Structure 1
Amino acid sequence: MTTTWTTHKALVVGEAGMVAAQHVTAARAGAAVLARGGNAMDAAVTTALVLSVVEPWLSGIGGGGFLLHRDGASGEVCALDFAMVSPAGIDPADYPLASRKEGNWFDWPSVVDNRNLIGVHSICVPGAVAGFAEALEAKGTISFAEALAPAIAAAEAGLEVDWFAELCLSIDADNLLTNEASARLLLRDGKAPRLPEGCASIRLPMEEKAATLRRLAGAGPRDFYEGEIAQALVADMAALGGRMSLEDLASYRARWVTPLSQDYRGARVLAMPGLTGGPALCDVLGRLSGADAFAGAAAQAPRATHYAAYADAIRAAYADRLTTVGHAGRHGTGAGIDPGCTSHLSVVDRDGTVVSLTNTLLSRFGSKVTSPKTGILMNNGMMWFDPRPGAPNAIAPGVKPLANMCPLLCETAEGGVIAVGAAGGRQIMPSLVQLLSFRLDFGMDLGRALSTPRIDASAPRIKVDRRAPADTAGRIGRAHDVDVVDDVLYPVQFAIPSAVERRPDGTLHGMVHPNHPWSAAVAAEEASS
């Protein structure tokens, strides 16, 4: 049985600051920081910390990610890598292949007992707390404790479970049962909590998580890596047979890196370098720059020929990245075998400073393992390593896996700036290519761009939104296998973007994925009213 809703999100306009995120509670918390005079980084970190509480199955302090920051006054752009790292004590032999089938295009062999996907052996060293703290120290104006305050309040109130949260919990209930702490925290009698008749939502206690956040506020972020929280995490993981050590945590540092820069249609696109979605996105934009479909008179909306050009360019980029890239190969981007679940947020403040931040646990609910002492749901970063020995991205100790995350900034030819990114695992990069093209090739504002049908070319069978021009599937089908699909809430067929833009006249725009029930763009003016 299929249930269908029609939803709509409108472009939000403001002047004093804007936050676009996948959960309205988090977006409001960030916008409130802007309303009180905080800057874009203050709001971004606050929003990300609240997201770790209100949608803990997508991102959190047990995960990691990347961000880009552009100063509104100087135009200086910098990038922060706080991705997860494999524990130094792991042994690749602990991940034996269940099948020797050699495959590319995400068709990696399975590992015995899915040890790289679920459970304590799938966990990498988290980078989120280090990243958020470093970002605030370098570019923020508020303390880490101040940024934590709204997240602490949300955790003390308990996880709100409405119809959508009930759906998210139901999808993974069986997997959550593999970990006692996760089942106790998120399930009731082995199932997702059921909403009583006539009740819009209920609350699940998050006492351990609230205590951990309070501890971070008082003791400081390094406690996560060197103090009581670190000791509790390692003890909990060791009790399950995990290899993460106190040394792994103590040695972790977030790292500032130089962003990639790619010219496209008179604009400058800035992306994360290294083992992210950034290099492949720049590759695709380079291919599209000379594509025949975009020659000649400008159109007002993409036609089938444009969608076919997107498909060709994205598939060509993936053909390279999936066989040559990783910690043991040349640097670039890669993708896992799971659509992934992630949180993205975009922020612009009144001075025009922008932040694009993506944080993830990787799969929905990450490893499905919750640390009992801390209430932290842990990532499954081992999933993003190729389990085949000798591959460029093979499982190895003390290294970072390939990642799909792709936060972006874009300086437009007219003098504006855009911050954009998305959730959706391997679907992220293809969606962002199209959103940039919609904005730069067809002159759409963010509202129209994020509402325009997309394709997903992250796998050999290319998904075409049923709302796309009628001949799109046929045109793409000349070179690729095609499925025509509906852009439904679940299963997720296309990535879930969030974007903000400062226009040349100083007006601020914010837009989110139209059919996501929790997503919202919130202006600072709204948060202060």
Structure 2
Amino acid sequence: MTQLSRAQITTKPATRSSRGIVAAQHRLAAEVGAEVLAAGGNAVDAAVAVSFAIGVVEPWMSGPAGGGAMMLDMAGTGPEALYYGMRAPAGLNPADFPLTGEKATGDLFPWKAVVEDRNVIGATAVAVPGVVDGIGKAHARYGRMPWAELIAPAVKLAKEGIEADWYVALLIASSTRVLARDPDAAARFLEDGQWPTVANWTALSDKRIDMSSMAPSLQAIADEGARALYDGDLGAALAADVEAKGGSLRRADLQAYQAVWQQARAVPYRDATLWVTPHLTAGPTISDVFSQLSTGFTPGQAPDAAAYAAYAEACDAAYAARLANDGDMGNDDPRAPSCTTHFSIVDAEGNMVAMTQTLLSIFGSRVVSPSTGLLLNNGIMWFDPEQGRPNSLAGGKRCLMNVCPVLGAAGDRKFAIGASGGRKIMPAVAQLASFLTDFGMGLDAAFHQPRIDASGDTVIADDTLPASVIESLEMRGPVVTARRAPFPYAFACPAGVLRDGAENYGATEIMSPWGEAVAG
């Protein structure tokens, strides 16, 4: 992993405002959401606008053809969870995913390898998407502004395309070989089979990735409503494209899909309360972590060696329970690129949304639907292709996700946080919540505080942590040190908002080149 110079210090101050704030992995999407807040929209209105906008400007992480979950805290209702995870198509046949007998390499999960990587790459890896129905249900219950008005900025961004800066070129270069397998994905993201030429250093050129084929689909969703992708001609076209490319998704799968409102799980923790998603996410896992932490250490003035050792122990125990009960093997590869996107929103009235959405792998299945212009998920990879396991692949089965949006309250402060980064998400969110509640940190300090990743057999520790912390961690098992860097991510990529009295704060991962918290 390329290291930054030790003399190079990166900071990204938190945004403070008495108005609403959107913290997202892409500045343009955060600005779209902030404009909605400024126009009188609430946190859910802003979430709708950000969801569609970020699916255009950061399409390799999420989009309308993905899935996820959100936590909401709207005035008068209390915390709620909304699950819109992906589902295996009903007609999927596990026999179509024969094992090679070897362990898979090169992606997020250490399942046994499937012939031709059919569960990872291509139309055979596509699951039933849930994002659009999920945000449609949230808007129907809480939205103030017209649905079509909230999607209009995403349509505009799709027509404009994505600036091909250094980060875009880097991400596309990391997936060039697999993108080249699908003619429609290659036409979208590659130039003559290679990654795109970067806009030159004078900043006078306007090299862009053409996203215009998404615009008609987004406009159809704006005009016809969220169910256009499920019950309408748009959904029929999407299903036909997947079938033509050899996948098992059918129109009936889309028509049967419904996002689900859930009762948030309350997690009492010392003098605070956290609320998490209750099922098929990392919500139950982080609940286990805080159960362990409640007796695992006594907070001092700042996180010390005992605190970080407790974080590692709690994550180990929680993941052991997750493996035994749910079968999610997770991501043990520290080199795996961050995928998924998370954004957190607080409005001027104190309403909050923590929303995570994903295609699963970076660029999902690496397949573009030619009729809709949508980059498709590879949700089938979430399932263990070996039969007889708790999370084994089966038709119609719901995917078990690593997403972990969290709401929290401690005294007069409340917050909404989450992250992207596969299995790295939960440890990052747990530590941030601990920084805020156990140590009374502000959002700025919490996001700059060094973290560890305890999501696998080896702990990855920020190399700026004191030697005493590293030594404490090494006493319990293998440790690798790494510097927070723009790519690849050794740690998760969080975004969060905090309300303290009448003041709001927002922050994103300090090393995210695009992440920004923008006031509305």
TM-score between the two structures when normalised by the length of structure 1 = 0.93
Does residue 1:208 correspond to 2:205, yes or no?
no
Q: 2:353 matched to which residue of 1? A: 355
Q: Which segment is superposed worse, 466-475 or 273-282? A: 466-475
Amino acid paired to 1:393: N
Q: 2:100 matched to which residue of 1? A: 98
Does residue 1:325 correspond to 2:326, yes or no?
yes
Distance 2:126 2:35 in 1: 34
Amino acid paired to 2:510: P
Q: 2:376 matched to which residue of 1? A: 378
Matches within 5 A, 1:191-230: 191-200=194-203, 201-230=206-235
Distance 2:301 2:435 in 1: 9
Amino acid paired to 1:79: A
Give secondary structure in 1 for the equivalent of 2:461.
strand
Give the superposed CA RMSD. 1.8
Amino acid paired to 2:445: R
Does residue 1:469 correspond to 2:466, yes or no?
yes
Alpha carbons 1:122, 1:379 under 8 Å: kept: yes
Does residue 1:83 correspond to 2:81, yes or no?
no
Q: 2:305 matched to which residue of 1? A: 304
Q: Deviations over 1:39-64 (max 9, x none)?
A: 00000111111000000000100101
Change (3 A) 1:199 1:222: farther
* Deviation of 1:144 (Å): 2.1
* Deviation of 1:197 (Å): 3.3
Q: 2:239 matched to which residue of 1? A: 234
Q: 1:491 matched to which residue of 2? A: 488
Q: Deviations over 1:246-295 (max 9, x none)?
A: 1000011111011111011211100001110100000000001001x32x
Distance 1:160 1:6 in 2: 27
Matches within 5 A, 1:137-148: 137-148=140-151
Distance 1:445 1:129 in 2: 33
Amino acid paired to 2:482: V
Give secondary structure in 2 for the equivalent of 1:99.
strand
Distance 1:510 1:11 in 2: 6
Q: 2:330 matched to which residue of 1? A: 335
Give secondary structure in 2 for the equivalent of 1:310.
helix
* Deviation of 1:195 (Å): 2.1
Change (3 A) 1:199 1:215: farther
Alpha carbons 1:336, 1:404 under 8 Å: kept: no
Alpha carbons 1:57, 1:361 under 8 Å: kept: yes
Q: 1:454 matched to which residue of 2? A: 451
Change (3 A) 1:401 1:40: same
Distance 2:50 2:421 in 1: 19
The match for 1:506 among 495, 502, 505 is 502
Alpha carbons 2:331, 2:455 under 8 Å: kept: no
* Deviation of 1:336 (Å): 5.2
Distance 2:42 2:144 in 1: 7
Alpha carbons 2:62, 2:357 under 8 Å: kept: yes
Distance 1:199 1:121 in 2: 43
Q: 1:121 matched to which residue of 2? A: 124
* Deviation of 1:2 (Å): 4.2
Distance 2:472 2:101 in 1: 36
* Deviation of 1:199 (Å): 4.8
Distance 1:210 1:511 in 2: 30
Give secondary structure in 1 for the equivalent of 2:467.
coil
Alpha carbons 1:276, 1:334 under 8 Å: kept: no
Distance 1:144 1:177 in 2: 36
Does residue 1:515 correspond to 2:511, yes or no?
yes
Distance 1:56 1:162 in 2: 15
Distance 2:82 2:404 in 1: 12
* Deviation of 1:382 (Å): 0.7
Q: 1:419 matched to which residue of 2? A: 416
Amino acid paired to 1:235: A
Q: 2:441 matched to which residue of 1? A: 444
Alpha carbons 1:456, 1:463 under 8 Å: kept: yes
* Deviation of 1:324 (Å): 2.1
Q: 1:283 matched to which residue of 2? A: 288
Distance 2:350 2:22 in 1: 13
Say how many residue pairs are matched: 510
Alpha carbons 2:332, 2:456 under 8 Å: kept: no
Alpha carbons 2:3, 2:485 under 8 Å: kept: no
Q: Deviations over 1:5-47 (max 9, x none)?
A: 7532101110111110000100011011000110000001111
Distance 2:199 2:43 in 1: 40
The match for 1:153 among 149, 153, 156 is 156
Alpha carbons 1:136, 1:143 under 8 Å: kept: no
Q: Which segment is superposed worse, 221-230 or 21-30? A: 221-230
Alpha carbons 1:91, 1:396 under 8 Å: kept: yes
Matches within 5 A, 1:259-274: 259-274=264-279
* Deviation of 1:387 (Å): 1.3
Give secondary structure in 1 for the equivalent of 2:397.
coil
Distance 1:185 1:106 in 2: 27
Change (3 A) 1:133 1:465: same
Give secondary structure in 2 for the equivalent of 1:422.
strand
Q: 1:527 matched to which residue of 2? A: none
Listed as ranges, the gaps of 5+ residues in structure 1 are 327-332, 525-529
Distance 2:504 2:256 in 1: 40
* Deviation of 1:196 (Å): 4.7
Distance 2:164 2:277 in 1: 34
Give secondary structure in 1 for the equivalent of 2:459.
strand
Distance 1:79 1:307 in 2: 29
The match for 1:398 among 390, 396, 399 is 396
Does residue 1:62 correspond to 2:68, yes or no?
no
Give secondary structure in 2 for the equivalent of 1:341.
coil
> Identity over aligned residues, as a percent?
42
Alpha carbons 1:334, 1:404 under 8 Å: kept: no
Change (3 A) 1:102 1:163: closer
* Deviation of 1:101 (Å): 6.6
Q: Deviations over 1:395-454 (max 9, x none)?
A: 011111210000010011x12210000010000000011111111111110100011110
Distance 1:198 1:106 in 2: 38
